[in-house]
Amino acid sequence: MQNVKVIIWGLGAMGSGMAKMLLKKKGVEIVGAIDIGAKLGKSMYELVGVERGNRADVIVGTPEEVIKERCADVCLCVTDSFTRNAFDKFKFVLEKKINVISSAEQMAFPQAQEPELAKQIDELAKANGVSILGTGINPGLIMDLLVVVMTGCCESIDHVVSRRVNSLSPFGPTVMEEQGIGLGVDEFKKRVEDGTMAGHVGFHESINMIAEAIGWNVDKVTQSMDPIVTDVDRKAPYGFAKAGDVAGVAMKGYGYIDGEVKIEMDHPQQIEPEQVGVNTGDYVIIKGTPDINMVNSPEVPGGIGTIAMVVNMIPQIINAKAGLQTMISLPVPRAIMGDMRDRIDPECKIVK
């Protein structure tokens, strides 16, 4: 069998990380890379900082230059957070009869906030005999799929809390700015009001994925965003919050089922949590038969986790039935320590 052939669309921090991870794996090769601006025409190997060795070079190009019909088994689209913004890219790839994995948060369960686009994407994929999946660490695993898996050993479920307490300290200046690190509380509130505080994208998707998986109908989803005000000065590599100012964002999400909150999301993100005795971790707390009280501590780091989830789902999306897939419609994610080709159903391989 030929190597699994991958195109990466978007060589930011996540796309570059996926390239580096793929270059360490057996039975898979990167056959194309797409980006814009100054990266065009450059060698992907130079951009991601990996020795090319005796591999053929991969020159960053436009979609039209890189994507030819059935030239790859999968394209990793690592460009957007919102389905709407990425839709034309998906369309372009699917119509070239190539499978897609997207890291867009909304694509983890586009049925939640973009049902009409989800339907179009499903139809496009089916019409072209390929499949498309959105995944990442969260949404994609921690606050949704992991909850679903643990409901699997329950006879019944009354209530779910999914909590991710994580540190923003490893992130760069963009994230510090997006999350309002160092702002005064009034300024933070103003930005929440005018909608310029990004926060976490994914509560609608995670809540709807869990509900769909276990058979609950969601009436509505609400969410809130509050400042985490620090009592002490906190200094991270790329962010600083003085005592009294904002050291992070506490987001909560509520999924209503039959008029009651039955699914809660709790996701406080801050710099230097350990300076104030906050233990980071990923929590699954289920009230049901039986109760589940699970924690992974410290939390799975967001960057590595997203890179790994997208790469590790490549075999599953190649083997999948045509159409829009989700993490609850496919076999479980898993690390790839052997030859990636060992996992591919020969009938599903695009580049034979």
CB of 237 to its own copies, least distance (A): 18
Strand partners, 6: 30, 74
Query: 162 Cβ partners below 8 Å, 6+ apart?
Result: 142, 143, 144, 146, 147, 206, 210, 263, 264, 265, 266, 283, 284, 285
Q: Is position 83 an interface residue for its own copies (rule: CB under 8 A)?
A: no
Q: Which CB sits closer to its own copies, 67 or 317?
A: 317
Q: Is position 153 an interface residue for its own copies (rule: CB under 8 A)?
A: yes
Q: Which CB sits closer to its own copies, 63 or 303?
A: 303
CA distance 223 to 207: 11
DSSP code, position 43:
B
Q: Which CB sits closer to its own copies, 236 or 327?
A: 327
Two tokens at 227?
């400042």
Q: Is position 309 an interface residue for its own copies (rule: CB under 8 A)?
A: yes
144 neighbors 161 (Cβ within 8 angstroms): no
Q: Is position 229 an interface residue for its own copies (rule: CB under 8 A)?
A: no
Q: Is position 24 an interface residue for its own copies (rule: CB under 8 A)?
A: yes
Burial class, 64, CB count within 10 angstroms (exposed 0-12 / middle 13-18 / buried 19+): exposed
Q: Which CB sits closer to its own copies, 243 or 294?
A: 294
Q: Which CB sits closer to its own copies, 81 or 151?
A: 151
Q: Is position 261 an interface residue for its own copies (rule: CB under 8 A)?
A: no
Range 108-143 burial, b when 16+ CB lie within 10 A, else e: bbbbbbbeebbebbbebbeebebbbbbbbbbbbbbb
Q: Is position 152 an interface residue for its own copies (rule: CB under 8 A)?
A: yes
Q: Which CB sits closer to its own copies, 12 or 290?
A: 290
| Interaction residues for its own copies, span 2-21 (CB under 8 A) | 21
Q: Is position 311 an interface residue for its own copies (rule: CB under 8 A)?
A: yes
Q: Angle, to 10 degrees, between the axis of helix 13-23 and the axis of helix 302-312?
A: 50
CB of 199 to its own copies, least distance (A): 22
CA distance 210 to 108: 12
Q: Is position 330 an interface residue for its own copies (rule: CB under 8 A)?
A: yes
CB of 95 to its own copies, least distance (A): 27
Among 107, 247, 308, 344, binds its own copies (CB under 8 A): 308
Beta-carbon count within 10 A of 289 CB: 11
Two tokens at 74?
């999968």
Among 62, 85, 156, 224, binds its own copies (CB under 8 A): 156
Q: Is position 263 an interface residue for its own copies (rule: CB under 8 A)?
A: no
Q: Name the segment binding its own copies (CB under 8 A); options: 82-90, 106-114, 148-156, 222-230.
A: 148-156
81 neighbors 94 (Cβ within 8 angstroms): no
Q: Is position 342 an interface residue for its own copies (rule: CB under 8 A)?
A: yes
Two tokens at 300?
């799975």
Q: Name the segment binding its own copies (CB under 8 A); options: 65-73, 125-133, 231-239, 331-339.
A: 331-339
Among 115, 172, 244, 290, binds its own copies (CB under 8 A): 290
162 neighbors 266 (Cβ within 8 angstroms): yes
Of 101, 159, 109, residue with least CA distance to 138: 109
Q: Is position 247 an interface residue for its own copies (rule: CB under 8 A)?
A: no
Q: Helix (H, G, I), strand (E, B), or coil: what is residue 242?
A: coil
CB of 263 to its own copies, least distance (A): 12
Residues that bind its own copies (CB under 8 A): 21, 24, 137, 141-142, 145-146, 148-157, 213-217, 282, 284, 288-290, 292-298, 300-301, 304-305, 307-309, 311-313, 327-339, 342-343
